Structure 1
Amino acid sequence: MDSSKLHVAILSSPGMGHVIPVIVLGNHLATIHGVQVTILVITTNTSHEECQFLKSVTLSSLVHIIALPQVDISSKITPKTAIVTQLCMFAREALPEIRSTIASMNRKPDALIVDLFCPSSIPIAREFDMPVYVYSPTNAWATTLFTYCHVLDKEIDGEYVDQEEPLRIPGCKPLRPEYVPDPLLDRNDQQYHEYLNLGIEFTQSDGILVNTWEDLEANTLEALRENEILRSIVKVPVYLIGPLTRPVEPDSLKSDISSWLDKQPTDSVIYVSFGSGGVLSAEQTNELAFGLELSQQRFIWVVRPPLDGGLTNSDDNLLDYLPEGFLNRTRELGLVVPNWAQQVEILGHPSVRGFLSHCGWNSTLETIRASVPMIAWPLYSEQRQNAAMLTEDICVAVNPQVLPTKKVVGREEIEKMVRKIMQGKEGQEMRNKMKELKFSAENALSHGGSSFNSISKVLEEMKLKAQLPIPQ
């Protein structure tokens, strides 16, 4: 390892949705800024998908991945233990392994970056006299809510979703109660308190890195920099360093998907996927199938067994949970893919014009960089807040009249939304807006752009602390 280069360790919590953003960050630091990166991944006894991904991902020669020994919390949880609680427990349980792994490195890291569920590791960085930063792989608005919710906890009585007025964060867009993230839905659940503590711990770092860029969230950034009330809560600097997304890997599409897309006209296909963890009910799966069929638009649909279907993730079960005759009737119209597909490559294909998405932030950024308008279909976590931004602020998505988590979206409404973004004037306006955002994103990451400069500033701070030379 080159002792003249900055060495940064990045800690990831378990789960594909957390591992991928950390690897993207590590690769970016290595390929664009020449940083030596060691990625520490907390693994569990169910981390098979992440481990396969880690083996297959293309990495810079400057990036090294260490899968930490498996963490077992099975004796401390019940089937009702919420996901945020579990992630925080995994992070705390892994602390001895994190400490011993760093201590055993031939060359200690010059700095530590932890993902949003791992700020419990901040004291370890202090032990090794390393600056430590939190990486929030979401937008600035959601991150600000994260850091401010312990204040709302004291200001608001009762459940947030029952409030008649929006939740107000100084200087930021108010958040409608129905859009609050899952951890804030039940103030009696342990994950609510874990969420509050995470937000407090964020501000005990040396800075917060956020996967967004200035032009997209100028108002929120101004509040974080200028609003006196907010600055008294979030005292550490916030750096917007995105949008960091997975690159397109040549020839990575399965042959049947790529060959099918190649045969479709330009701008004619809607891509439908709900991310690595998104699952619909059997009734909603049925309505979505009929809605796609009624729209008569070409589609690629990544289908998972329904939440209440009692089925396994076997490809052989497709016929069991899709409407009778659906695959035959839509054989010339669409392609149904079981469980998973190469999303970045699909979105970037010239035949794809729209995306029906769960609005996870990774998917949102990938969609912006592909200039594809969206149907916002949030399911969990901060996805409802992301959907609000997409539909109300930057106006690149349409959404159902009622949140899909509250009511089954009917086939006629699905048909109407699909036709709107695929054929209508409104869909073309959204596409034009997406192209502007893509251009803005590329400028932010280019040399001298806002995100490039923001990352460079953080790296200079790390080098100063480590007493490494800073290029003039």
Structure 2
Amino acid sequence: MDQNKLHVAIISSPGMGHLVPVYLLANRLATHHHVRITILAVTTQTSPAESQLLGSLADLDHINLIKIPSPDISNLLDPDDTMVTRLAVIMREAKNNIRSAISTMSSRPHALIGDLFSSESLPIANEFHMRKYVYVPCLARFAALTMHVHVFDKEVKGQYVDLVEPLRVPGCVPVRGQDVPDPMLDRNNREYNEYVKMGINFTTLSDGVLVNTWRDLDCTSLDALKYNETLKSVVKVPVYDIGPLTRLADPAGSNDSKVIEWLDMQPVESVIFISFGSGGTPSAEQIAELAWGLELSRQRFVWVIRSPAGSAKDGTFFTSGSDSPNGPPDFLPEGFLNRTGTQGLIVPLWAPQVTILNHKSIGGFLTHCGLNSIYESIRGGVPMIAWPLYAEQRLNASLLTEELQVAIRPAVQPAEEVVGREEIEKMVRSLMEGEDGKRMREKVKLLRESANHALMINGSSYKSMCEFITCCQNNN
């Protein structure tokens, strides 16, 4: 490696939903801006999918990977602590290991980037005379809300979900109480305090915030973060819109896939793809209703399915890929597989999502609204059924359905109530056959072109990334 190149280290918290965005940022910096990259990945050793991705990262020539062992936090958690609390505690306790890893590097980085759960490690950068940044692989409205929530904490009484009026972040689209991220649902829960602290850290411990978005996706919130004087007095640091960083289809990577072979035989834009991401786990009752809805719709489908995990909506976040299929799923309605044998395809656990979403036969995507999946759908030109389950996914769904109008969503919150088969049938038919589906398909294809343009040389996100890199270089 060229020792004179700008060298950036990026900290990743555990989970596929965090490791993938860190890899995408690292790859973009390395391949498009010729930056030396080291990823400091805190691992949990419980997710086969994560271990597989780490193994592939270790083989890359343009990225240096350092695995940070996850600390023992068993005596620091209560049995009912949430995923957000667990991640916050893991990353807090991993600080010493992260510091040790940096101190032993033969070539010290010039800048340190922490993902959204790694903000407490940013002061380590001061010890080694590095610039320090936060990477928020989420929408601009989530970033704005997170950095402003400590203001609401002082000004708003009672639970946010009980508010009649929406929350108003200066300059941003108002946020309904029902759409707030999970940590804001219960102000008495430990995860709420972790979330408030995280937002404060973004603005007080960093030299800037990188957000995985682009101008045309959520310009109102992005403009507020950059130019609204009231919000800037809270945020305090520069905000860089650098997205959409997302995985792209590899045409040569899945030619032997059973799924792709099946899709090759279907008409153009005739298949709906159903997947709840690496962590999403609908209940057994909801899976049954979804199966009935798909069958009643008579639409072609590819459904990536895993065993239900009780009441947890994010039941496989830390264990993605560990569920072992053993014959046909026994939690589907009796006879479902026989009745839909020519209509659809059930795929246990995992499928090449990016390749599927870029296949000509795909005409819709039922998604949990994780940002990785949303961007992959937009880059594939595929409209969506928004089915938010956890984290900030309800906030994402509101943007997709109400402002961008590239998705429809159930009348109830899928994380709280079971969506019935009749409504599922209606949504699937509307997306795949109706006039609303046609309009959404046209809008999402325009959004795809906008995303591509933002990342091109002289595009808005490319320029913003260059500004970030210049700030790092000026510190050397």
- Spell out, residue by residue over 1:297-341, the C-alpha distance to the aligned partner (whole angstroms, 9 max, x if none): 110001111123999933226431000000011110100011111
Partner of 2:287: 285
Separation in structure 2 between the aligned mates of residue 248 and residue 41 of structure 1, nearest angstrom = 24
1:463 alignment partner, SS class: helix
- Spell out, residue by residue over 1:352-390, the C-alpha distance to the aligned partner (whole angstroms, 9 max, x if none): 010000001111111111110000000001000000000
Q: CA deviation at 1:405?
A: 1.8
2:215 alignment partner, SS class: coil
1:9 alignment partner, SS class: strand
1:117-266 aligned at under 5 Å gives the runs 117-204=117-204, 205-253=206-254, 255-266=257-268
Check conservation: 1:84, 1:183, Cα contact below 8 A: yes
Q: CA deviation at 1:342?
A: 1.2
Partner of 2:319: none
1:69-468 aligned at under 5 Å gives the runs 69-204=69-204, 205-253=206-254, 255-308=257-310, 313-316=323-326, 318-466=328-476
1:261 alignment partner AA? L
- Spell out, residue by residue over 1:421-447, the C-alpha distance to the aligned partner (whole angstroms, 9 max, x if none): 101111011011011101111110000
- Spell out, residue by residue over 1:132-185, the C-alpha distance to the aligned partner (whole angstroms, 9 max, x if none): 110000110011001000111111111111111111111110011111111011
- Spell out, residue by residue over 1:382-435, the C-alpha distance to the aligned partner (whole angstroms, 9 max, x if none): 000000000001000011111112221111110110011101111011011011
Check conservation: 1:304, 1:313, Cα contact below 8 A: yes
Check conservation: 1:13, 1:118, Cα contact below 8 A: yes
Check conservation: 1:203, 1:236, Cα contact below 8 A: yes
Separation in structure 1 between the aligned mates of residue 262 and residue 31 of structure 2, nearest angstrom = 33
Separation in structure 1 between the aligned mates of residue 405 and residue 33 of structure 2, nearest angstrom = 33
Q: CA deviation at 1:50?
A: 1.2
2:454 alignment partner AA? A
Instruction: List gaps (5 residues or longer) in structure 2.
Output: 316-321
2:236 alignment partner, SS class: coil
Check conservation: 2:70, 2:90, Cα contact below 8 A: no
| CA-atom RMSD in angstroms | 1.6
Alignment size in residue pairs: 466
Q: CA deviation at 1:213?
A: 0.4
1:436 alignment partner AA? L
1:439 alignment partner AA? E
Q: CA deviation at 1:252?
A: 2.8
1:302 alignment partner AA? V
Partner of 2:11: 11
Check conservation: 2:406, 2:443, Cα contact below 8 A: yes
1:232 alignment partner, SS class: helix
Q: How high is the TM-score relative to the length of structure 1?
A: 0.96
Check conservation: 1:357, 1:374, Cα contact below 8 A: yes
Instruction: List gaps (5 residues or longer) in structure 1.
Output: 467-472
2:209 alignment partner AA? I
Separation in structure 2 between the aligned mates of residue 76 and residue 227 of structure 1, nearest angstrom = 40
Q: CA deviation at 1:16?
A: 0.6
Alignment of 1:55 onto 2:67: no
1:365 alignment partner, SS class: helix
Q: CA deviation at 1:250?
A: 3.4
Check conservation: 2:248, 2:376, Cα contact below 8 A: no
Q: CA deviation at 1:61?
A: 2.4
Q: CA deviation at 1:43?
A: 1.1
2:439 alignment partner, SS class: helix
Q: How high is the TM-score relative to the length of structure 2?
A: 0.95
2:271 alignment partner AA? V
Check conservation: 1:27, 1:60, Cα contact below 8 A: no
